[in-house]
Structure 1
Amino acid sequence: MDIPATSLSQSVVLFALCASVVWVAGARLAYLADSLADRFKLAKSLVGLLILSLATSLPEVATTLSAAVQQSRDLVLNNLFGGIALQTAILAMSDFWSKGAITNYPRKANHALEATLLVFLLSLALITTNLSETFVLAGIGLGSVFIALAYGGAIWLLRRYDGSSDWVPVDLPDPEPLPFPAPSGLAVTGSSALIWQAIAACGAILVFGILIVFLADRIADQSGLGSGFVGVTLLAAATSLPELTTSIAAVRIGAYTMAISNIFGSNLIMLVLVFPADILFRAGPILQNTSATVGLALSFGICVTAIYLIGLLVRRKPKVGTVGLDSILVLITFLASLVAYYLAR
């Protein structure tokens, strides 16, 4: 995509404008997904895992495949893996809009299972990078193949487990009136109109999300920051903006399980994108000879996911105000990761 030449200040302004469009489209998509889930009697956790997470991951998909075609290993991996801790921190930030700790709301174990499977896939990726993708077939690393197969198995298991009721939590939060209900007009809007609006919102997220990515890359060049540091910070933040707005909007209307599954589902997608990127990257296996920031990003991804896994299992957890201690710890860990990325750049 060709964007006319701009100064650093102009690039920042355009970045902010595109981010505003993505913010509005993402919030609208969360409202639409919630209404469609109610309309078609779908589990909101399943909608978040399979539909909302894919829609909000469209900029990541476009950026990853484009960078892989351009043979930019660091940009691909730092964007994907750096976004995992960031998107988990987004879930922590959305906790400030919830009525109590967000991890107290799930009534089934599928969110804990999502977190466990995510830790498993992150561990596979970390093992593969530490072995420098030793096993290669037709230029594609077997590690990325195993990650793709594990992702398929994870989605199959999560779909099968979604209807299970063999795990029943206690001490559920009492339902309270929501200060920010979904737009009332959606209740009387026809199903086909809701679907078309959702498609339009996805289109806006894709187009303006890609523009944000190109502008973030330009800002990185114009500001003189390193590509590795930018990949796990600015670029990952740009591509994670849809997850931020949809998660906050979902929490504000009380769709807590959809918000959690949206983030965990997006993180799972970030990992499986390694496989198509490996196919397009022809300079060797993409998980071979990776930079230090890649290993750090995977390690921090495991850390923040494990914190939320503990929060999902421990129902009576300490809180800081109305926010769960697990969310506070995730935010602290994410801030620590930024320092680590900067030192390792």
Structure 2
Amino acid sequence: MGYLSNSLPLTMLVFAISAFAVWVAGARLAYLADALSDRLKLAKSVVGLVFLSTATSLPEIATTLTAAVQGVQALVLNNLFGGIALQTAILAMSDFWARGAITNYPRKANHALEATLLVLMLGLVIVILMVGEPFAIAGVGAGSVILAVVYAGALWLLRSYDEASDWVPVDLPDPDPLPFPAPTGLTKASTKLLTAQAVLACAVILIFGSLLVLSAESMAIQSGLGTSFIGVTLLAAATSLPELTTSITAVRMGAYTLAISNIFGSNLIMLVLVFPADILFHSGPVLRTTSPIVLTSLGFAIVVTAIFLTGLLIRRKPRLGNVGLDSVLVLISFVASMLVYYSLR
């Protein structure tokens, strides 16, 4: 993908500046998404699942499609699948800003369904990788097409379920505990102005997120670390920074549904991105071959998602201070995944 420069300190400076820009834009985007959901009378779970998750996934989209065009299969798969466990760990980290376990607050079962569908798609990816994509049309594997169809079906099911409200949890905590004050002026701003600001924030995330990715790749090359290890760790961390800032901001202002749907929605997007990447990848189906790191990252993605799914179903769970035990277990699993990735590099 190329160097930004031949100087490691200069590359690190570009990385730091880009990270700051993405952090500020992501925080602002969380406020704007919350304001727009209220203004347009949209469910926050839908806004988080569709709009916010897509906006914060722009760096992943740009990185994945660029790597696919250049034929760097390892970077495509490690960036996508390695980012899922990391983004789930981001949700666990945001729990430190919540008043009690974050998975206690959702007032519908939407998030449990999101996690279940995510596990389903992760399992499908593993099956496709193990089978090896025996069927392909014009170089596009049947497996990636199946993932795209399942993703579309998942969005339809989640939208329908949000309107149906088949069952809801009981014994819920206060939905708005100590909300962090939003920037002044959002309630008075016009819908057109809020939308324009959201578009601008997305542009900043895309531009500086792409610079963040390029600088991360340059640091990987300059430091001599392996491509696979960097793809599943540093590169995934760089592209997941928007999810970090938006999730923490959403939790601080009490928008827990927005934060959870943002992460699960982003993880679902990571899987459906396999389809456009497969179209742009000209060396055969992108899921035809794999590596131990790819399969391991998918395994850890299932583990951390299942932990949060359990936390969403068990309303009264042990806590360590104000943090739910499920978030602690997710963070422990993520640290363990880093150690395993390093050993497999």
Q: What does the per-residue CA deviation read over 1:139-162, in whole Å, with 9 as the maximum and x for residues that have no partner? A: 111111111110010001011111
- The range that moved more, 239-248 or 176-185, is 176-185
Distance 1:18 1:6 in 2: 18
Contact 1:171 1:316 (8 Å CA) reproduced: no
Could you say which residue in structure 2 is the equivalent of 1:236?
Answer: 236
Contact 2:102 2:256 (8 Å CA) reproduced: yes
Could you say which residue in structure 2 is the equivalent of 1:21?
Answer: 21
CA apart distance, 1:40: 1.2
Please give the residue correspondences for 1:126-165 in structure 2 after superposition, counting only pairs within 5 Å. Answer: 126-165=126-165
Flag the 1:41–1:77 CA change in 2: closer, same or farther, 3 A: same
Identity across aligned pairs (percent)? 68
- The range that moved more, 85-94 or 122-131, is 122-131
Q: What does the per-residue CA deviation read over 1:41-62, in whole Å, with 9 as the maximum and x for residues that have no partner? A: 1111110001000000011111
SS of the residue 1:187 aligns to: coil
Please give the residue correspondences for 1:1-345 in structure 2 after superposition, counting only pairs within 5 Å. Answer: 5-175=5-175, 177-178=177-178, 180-345=180-345
Distance 1:168 1:157 in 2: 17
Distance 2:90 2:14 in 1: 23
- The range that moved more, 275-284 or 173-182, is 173-182
CA apart distance, 1:134: 2.4
Distance 2:69 2:169 in 1: 47
Flag the 1:290–1:209 CA change in 2: closer, same or farther, 3 A: same
Contact 1:84 1:267 (8 Å CA) reproduced: yes
CA apart distance, 1:184: 2.2
- The range that moved more, 183-192 or 326-335, is 183-192
Flag the 1:19–1:151 CA change in 2: closer, same or farther, 3 A: same
Runs of at least 5 residues in structure 1 that lack an aligned partner in the other structure: none
- Report how many residues are paired: 345
Distance 2:178 2:19 in 1: 27
The two structures, once aligned, show a CA RMSD in angstroms of 1.2
Contact 1:92 1:327 (8 Å CA) reproduced: yes
Contact 2:87 2:267 (8 Å CA) reproduced: yes
Contact 1:212 1:238 (8 Å CA) reproduced: yes
- The range that moved more, 173-182 or 246-255, is 173-182
Contact 2:3 2:218 (8 Å CA) reproduced: no
Runs of at least 5 residues in structure 2 that lack an aligned partner in the other structure: none
Contact 2:139 2:285 (8 Å CA) reproduced: yes
TM superposition score normalised by structure 1: 0.98
Distance 2:230 2:249 in 1: 27
Contact 2:105 2:173 (8 Å CA) reproduced: yes
SS of the residue 1:162 aligns to: helix
Contact 1:55 1:202 (8 Å CA) reproduced: yes
Flag the 1:20–1:120 CA change in 2: closer, same or farther, 3 A: same
CA apart distance, 1:12: 0.9
CA apart distance, 1:173: 1.0
TM superposition score normalised by structure 2: 0.98
Distance 1:140 1:39 in 2: 41
Distance 2:8 2:225 in 1: 13
Letter of the 2:28 counterpart: R
CA apart distance, 1:3: 6.7
CA apart distance, 1:191: 1.3
Letter of the 2:337 counterpart: S
CA apart distance, 1:9: 1.3
Distance 1:277 1:155 in 2: 20
CA apart distance, 1:180: 2.0
